[in-house]
Amino acid sequence: NYFSPFDHRVKEKIVVGEIVKDIITHNGTALIYISKTKIYDGSYIEEFSEYIDLCPEINDKKSLSYIDKLEQFFGTKGDIEKNSNLIYLMKRGIVIHHGSIPLKARLLIEEFVNGHHARICFSTSTLIQGINMPFDIVWVNNFRFTGNDDQKILDLKNLIGRAGRTTI
């Protein structure tokens, strides 16, 4: 389990991309904690394209049934004029989780993850609040936490506590 870009034994920075890439390549799962701004402006797609490219389009019927439910809920099912990054990525086993996603959609996403259909989850602080979803690794891309020092420490512990809930 990793939750830091530093190896305390060698006192130097670990090559970030290799840890996440290795986990995903070996059918593991990664939670990547990012800012809501990156989700809204879409910059996370380019920033993490190397990992996204490791996830081929899924064809498992159970996985596709969750996607179908979300497409129906969002009204994008069969509508070529409506595009959704959330649906596009989910078809590759990649989910987005943040507080502005409607509750029904978040619950479907959580079921998708807990059913071991997701490879990557891009999330904001909603997972700090104790939502139970398993990941092999947590990568913290955004170290901005709110509150006093004790609250910040607790939030970081809750976030990294998602790691090690192995899926393989």
Q: How far apart are alpha carbons 28 and 107 in whole angstroms?
A: 22
How high is the pLDDT of residue 67?
95
23 is written with which tokens?
A: 């986990």
| pLDDT on residue 84 | 82
User: Bridge partners of 135?
Assistant: 163
Three-class DSSP category at 126:
helix
Minimal CA–CA distance to 93: which of 135, 128, 36, 132? 135
- Going residue by residue through the chain, which has 168 residues, state the pLDDT in tens, using 9 for 90 and above: 444 444 445 555 545 558 889 889 999 999 888 888 888 999 999 999 999 999 999 999 999 999 999 999 988 877 666 678 899 999 999 999 888 899 999 999 999 998 999 999 998 876 656 566 778 887 776 656 566 666 665 555 665 555 555 544
CB atoms within 10 A of CB 115: 12
